[in-house]
Amino acid sequence: MECKPQQIAILGFSAVGHLAASISTLWNNPQIFTEEEIEEGLHKPDATILSYPVITSGEFREPGSFAALLGEDASDELMERLSLKKQVNEKTALAFLWHTYEDNGVPVENTLLYAQALSKYKIPSEAHIYPHGAHGLSLVSDPTIWAVPKFRRKFDWLGQSVEWLIDIFEIRPFE
């Protein structure tokens, strides 16, 4: 299977989910990148996988992430600029998102708001909201699933995201 430059996906969890979504939404921002970089799409990913991402600086923000990113006294303008649900546009990369309702670190609304912004621009996305699981759940190994009864239902964001990538990139791994 050959590597194709038009098949670049990035993955981020929590605050790094904010970084991945930032690359996805801000790759063509002239305040950040040169005209040449933007014209060539040099920094544009083709897809993102966002795992319980920090997205909004609004009502459902995760204050610790924004304080670490911008400092305690960030201006409202800067906070607004890095509220990524407001930066989505027709050139934003496709996204696979997942989160849990029980996440006590980053409110699930972050994922819902990003999915809604993508929908506004008709950008194909796939979102999975699982009923159980704390922040930082990551891969949830099989022993964890069987040790905690509420995880016994299939929790397979990794397999689902790989299948999603195969579909959107039209990869034929066995040809």
| Residue 173 included in any domain | no
| Residue 2 included in any domain | no
For residue 13, the cross-strand partners are 51
| Residue 111 included in any domain | yes
Task: Outline where DSSP puts E strands in 42-170.
Answer: 47-51, 94-100, 125-130
Q: For tokens 């579909």, what's the residue?
A: 167
pTM of the model: 0.86
pLDDT score, position 123: 96
Contact 27, 44 (CB under 8 A): yes
DSSP for 28-50 reads T-TTTS-HHHHHHTTT--SEEEE
Report, as an integer, the average pLDDT of 24-28: 95
Contact 80, 55 (CB under 8 A): no
Domain that holds residue 157: 9-168
pLDDT band of residue 58 (cuts 50, 70, 90) is confident
**In the predicted structure, residue 165 carries a pLDDT above the cut 70:** yes
Q: For tokens 């930066």, what's the residue?
A: 87
Q: For tokens 């195969």, what's the residue?
A: 166
Residue 63's contacts (CB-CB under 8 Å, 6 or more residues apart) are none
Q: How far apart are CA 19 and CA 10, in angstroms?
A: 10
pLDDT score, position 121: 97
| Residue 132 included in any domain | yes
Q: How is residue 10 annotated by DSSP?
A: E
Q: Where are the alpha helices (DSSP H) in 71-139?
A: 76-81, 109-120
| Residue 174 included in any domain | no
Q: Residue 54: how many CB atoms within 10 A of its CB?
A: 30
Q: Read off the CATH number of the domain in which 60 is found.
A: 3.40.50.1820
Domain count, the chain: 1
Q: What is the pLDDT of residues 94-142, one digit of tens each?
A: 999 999 998 889 999 999 999 999 999 999 999 999 888 777 777 555 5
| Residue 1 included in any domain | no
Going by C-alpha positions, the residue among 86, 129, 138 that lies closest to residue 108 is: 129
| Residue 48 included in any domain | yes
**In the predicted structure, residue 164 carries a pLDDT above the cut 90:** yes
| Residue 122 included in any domain | yes
